Amino acid sequence: MKVKRTELTWWERLYLPTLINGFKVTLRHFFSWKRSEVYGDKQKEFTAKTTMQYPEEKWDVPTGYRGAPYLVKDVDEKTKCVSCQLCEFICPPKAIRITPPGDSGVVDREGAEKMPEEFEINMLRCIYCGFCQEVCPEEAIFLLEDYAINGETREELIYNKGKLLALGGADKRAYNHHVQCDVDEGIKKWETKTREAGEQPAFH
């Protein structure tokens, strides 16, 4: 299939119009005293706009923002991941690698089948698509509001299970969906599953 491209004029081929338009946008923001809506409440105490002091100050990301994926713990500080590997299979860039515990796997809570021996996410590959969050049956992985991912080497940007749990478990937004009305401690999922299993009739 051939794509018919628009013929550029001599003036457009000089690239000057695009360059000039870019400078116009920059100068318009530079000489404007209007406060930016991006900074939100961070500039409400100022009469004019100010420069955001990054990284001490960061943007207020909108609701539903898809940032970096991290593992989270339940309300009892237990690992929620059960090594089903669905997130690893569905990940488009193959950024997730899970090492199951095998037959001798150790669990750290009642009602769990197996905990991952290792869980790694390559942040250099991750495209923040959110497929891992959507497919996880245990709600063990969430895309949080962290967008400042940096490191000096490639190895630093491959997050292991310990780092993923530390980053995700420290963020209460990750499991706010567990908190019900007038129940501060949230839903203890594994206690519910154990109770429901015990209520099932026994087969002989």
Q: What is the CATH number of the domain that holds 163?
A: 3.30.70.3270
Cα–Cα distances in Å, from 97 out to 92, 94, 100?
Answer: 12, 8, 10
Total domains in the fold of the chain: 1
Decide if 46 is inside a domain.
Answer: no
Decide if 49 is inside a domain.
Answer: no
Decide if 25 is inside a domain.
Answer: no
Give the Cα separation of 64 and 83 in Å (integer). 26
Decide if 55 is inside a domain.
Answer: no
Q: What is the 3-state secondary structure (H, E, C) of 123-160?
A: CCCCCCCCHHHHHCCCCCEEECCCCCCCCCCCHHHEEC
Residue 137 near residue 84 (C-beta atoms within 8 A)? yes
Decide if 82 is inside a domain.
Answer: yes
Reading the chain (204 residues) residue by residue, the pLDDT tens digits are 788 888 888 877 888 888 888 899 888 877 776 666 665 566 666 666 667 777 887 777 777 788 999 998 876 777 888 888 999 999 999 999 999 886 666 666 666 667 888 999 999 999 999 999 999 988 889 898 888 888 899 999 999 999 999 988 755 545 554 444 444 444 555 666 677 777 888 766
Sign of CA dihedral 65, 89, 98, 197: positive
- Using alpha carbons, select from 157, 94, 91 the residue that is nearest to residue 129: 91
pTM here is 0.65
Domain that holds residue 160: 69-188
